[in-house]
Amino acid sequence: MKKLVDAYFKTSSNLSPALIHKSYCHDHPHTPSNERLEFLGDSVLSLVISHRLFLLFPGLSEGELTIRRSQLVQTSALAQKAAQISLDKRLHMSRGEEESGGRNNPNLLANTFEAVLGSLFLDSGLTSCIAFLRDIFPDTEILSVKQLLKDPKSFLQEKLQAAGLGTPVYTTVSSTGPDHAKNFVVQAEVNHTILSQGTGLSKQKAETAAAKNALAKDLPAC
């Protein structure tokens, strides 16, 4: 990181709302948490990283781009980026949250990173968000992502478990056609919530397709 995140803001005080964890609001009831900013920042992050991947990998399919994006912006990766720019030290939270390890909580830190991005978007617009993310996700890092280290099912399982949602379950919905050319439809779900469906000429291919489709969507609420 070449400079502090504050340097990307036109008005440095606009960063402050992004650093308010909801636990802090219990003791400060008129202070809004950073959850709305997190919602906005998540979309900004997805747009900017998707655009970068689109330009850097002109030969990759939609599914392959989705997998790479998922690896770059997964909870553990964003938590590391948050710590890299010292958001863990600057975050306001309740004493109880801090004593329970809140400053080292990957989900909390990843959410804060997204909230900061949402706040930056409101303060300075998309151009500043692009510059910030280019600094913290340089092209060399994006190009070095090894897509084939994990298959889509492994990526999805890692993503769900990092969010505290458990392990995905794959269920065959239907199989049609002759034995030598059956077409399977499989759905992926977690905690009895359907995430997506996928089709393929084998159960394994259908499960992989379902995982790819799930990775392209928002996670269900805990």
pLDDT score, position 119: 97
> Would you say 29 and 20 are in contact if contact means Cβ atoms under 8 Å apart?
no
**Residue 12: is its pLDDT beyond 90?**
no
All structural domains of the chain with their residue ranges: 5-147, 152-215
More confident site: 209 or 19: 19
What CA–CA distance (Å, rounded) separates 164 from 107?
Answer: 9
The whole-number pLDDT of residue 49 equals: 95
Length of the chain: 222
Predicted pLDDT at 148: 47
Q: List C-alpha distances in Å: 97 to 7, 26, 63, 79.
A: 29, 11, 38, 17
Q: Is 166 left (phi over 0), alpha (psi -120 to 50) or beta?
A: left
Query: Could you give the 3-state DSSP secondary structure of residue 192?
Result: coil
The predicted-structure confidence for 159-189, as pLDDT tens digits, reads as follows 888 888 899 999 999 998 887 778 899 999 9
Instruction: Please give the sequence-ordered ranges of beta strands (E in DSSP) within 2-81, or none if there are none.
Output: none
Q: What is the pLDDT of residue 85?
A: 92
Please state, rounded to an integer, the average pLDDT across all residues of the chain. 88
Q: Please compute the mean of the pLDDT values over residues 87-114 and round it to a whole number.
A: 90
List phi, psi (to 5°) of 103: -75, -10
- Residue 18 CA to residue 37 CA, distance in Å, equals 7
Q: Is the pLDDT at 11 greater than 70, yes or no? A: yes
Asked whether the predicted pLDDT for residue 29 surpasses 90, the reply is no
- Which helix or strand (DSSP H or E) is residue 219 part of? none
Reported pTM: 0.70
Residue 163 or residue 2, greater confidence: 163
Give pLDDT, residue 3. 60
* CA 34 – CA 75 distance, rounded (Å): 17
Report d(CA 106, CA 78) in Å as an integer. 8
Active-site amino acid positions: 42, 114
Tell me which residue of 106, 99, 49, 98 sits closest to 82, measured CA to CA. 106
- Average pLDDT on 147-165 reads 77
For the stretch 132-148, what's the b/e string if a residue is b when 16 or more beta carbons lie within 10 angstroms of its beta carbon? bbeebbeeeebeebebe
Pick the CATH number of 5-147 from 2.40.30.10, 3.90.470.10, 3.40.50.1220, 1.10.1520.10: 1.10.1520.10
- Kindly state the DSSP code that residue 86 receives in the 8-state scheme: T
CATH architecture of 152-215: 2-Layer Sandwich (3.30)
Distance (Å, whole) CA 24 – CA 106: 18
